[in-house]
Amino acid sequence: MNAMTKSASDLRRAARDHIRTPRLETPFHERLMALSEVNDWYDWAGYKAPHSLFDAELEYFAIRSTAALFDISPMVKYRITGPDAERYLNRLTLRDVRKLAVNRVHYTAWCDDHGHVLDDGTLFRLGEQEFRLCCQERHLPWLLDSAFGFTVDLHEETEEIAGLALQGPTSYAVLRDAGFAGVERLKPFDIAAFPHDGGEVTISRTGFTGDLGYELFLPRAKALSLWDRLWTAGQPHAIRAIGYGALNQTRIETGFIVANADFVTAEAALRSDRVRMPDEIGLDWLVDPDKPNFNGRRAILDARRNGTLKHILVGLEIEGNVPAEHAIVYYRKKHEAGLVTAAIWSPTAKRNIAIASLERPYGSKFTEDLWVEIYALRELKYQKLMKRAKIVPRPFVKLARRTATPPGLR
């Protein structure tokens, strides 16, 4: 009895200590804190991260009009090395890693044995048998279990490696003026190493905004000197630091999805009907059925062959200008068809857009006469709005400068 009482007491104390424990600070926190005017922070994987720094709307326009700096250090990062690294990752992920050249990046996802998506992310090939896997959630136990039988070394380097996203039409000009000679040769999804402060910074032409942009990774100790180098070079180009609110708007315009927002990861799902296969969240194009066996292959191909896929992720254009975030989607105004997972009024597209998860056959067989039920707060009273929606292709916004090589000068 005493042992049980002590155990319960220890649990309560641990819970209190967890609440008291401050969120971790990223290597760039000192600079972000100095720029923050609104004290608008949120928790990103245990780190204190800005939702906005001064004004989310103006931060959005910094991405689309000038250059924006976003701290991506909390993104979970794994270093995977060893003689079986390629073979291991080919077994783990959906795409054929053998086709990924050194100094290239590709977007990918990985599933459990039932074909349900565990997460999506980017895979950087830094050498013949040296990779960095970046993702939203922590997966070290799963990655270690999946490594059984392979000669690989797995190491989480989230704490050790600082990351910055530099996005927007003047992002190349900032890097050029900061002295990163040769960065103009980077094509989309290329990687290269550049000297910085007695060491190296890895720059990839990647991002989450659908705009011209780059991601920079380097050891934590050199983080602030990189920030200052970019910030100084960026002043003539109207550089701004931004938070997630602005980034989220641009990723919706580009039609990108976010784990545990647009779909529930297999490890996070509490109910069996919440999990999704790649084809159910628009990731069917990642699946390479011609490569050697990979996690979930049989289940994914069986679902395709047997027609048992239950959901579909679609882009919607909605009448009016009230964002339909978390609105219910209906067919003929009465049959519940699904849920909007992300929505905004797009300043660039000048359209009311959304990403929605629908239950088949809605969105596949029945694509017309769709409606969304929006509750708009007007002077302390909710007004129900039924607005017509139509399925449209993603991305909602497509910018030529994202892929232009060399980038245009601004």
SS3 335: strand
Return phi, psi of residue 113, to 5°: -70, -15
Task: Name residues whose C-beta falls within 8 Å of residue 371's C-beta, 6 or more positions apart in sequence.
Answer: 329, 330, 331, 332, 333, 386, 387, 388, 389
> Which tokens hold the place of 39?
């004290």
Residue with tokens 């200052």: 228
> Which tokens hold the place of 237?
């180009």
CA-CA-CA-CA dihedral for 83, 89, 95, 98, to nearest 10: 0
CB 91 within 8 A of CB 110: no
User: How does DSSP classify residue 115?
Assistant: S
Return phi, psi of residue 177, to 5°: -70, -20
**Residue 262, strand partner residues:** none
Between the alpha carbon of residue 136 and those of residues 58, 121, 270, the distances in Å are 26, 7, 18
Return the axis-axis angle of helices 56-65 and 244-254, rounded to nearest 10°. 50
Q: What sign does the CA torsion over 15, 16, 21, 23 have?
A: positive
Rounded-to-integer distance, Cα 47 and Cα 42, Å: 8
CB 177 within 8 A of CB 122: no
Between the alpha carbon of residue 358 and those of residues 133, 197, 256, 408, the distances in Å are 30, 50, 17, 39
CB 178 within 8 A of CB 224: no
> Which tokens hold the place of 331?
């067919």
Task: Name residues whose C-beta falls within 8 Å of residue 17's C-beta, 6 or more positions apart in sequence.
Answer: none
SS3 73: coil
> Is 373 annotated as ligand-binding?
no
Rounded-to-integer distance, Cα 7 and Cα 276, Å: 38
Q: What sign does the CA torsion over 331, 334, 338, 341 have?
A: positive
List, as residue ranges, the binding site. Answer: 215
List, as residue ranges, the binding site for substrate. Answer: 215
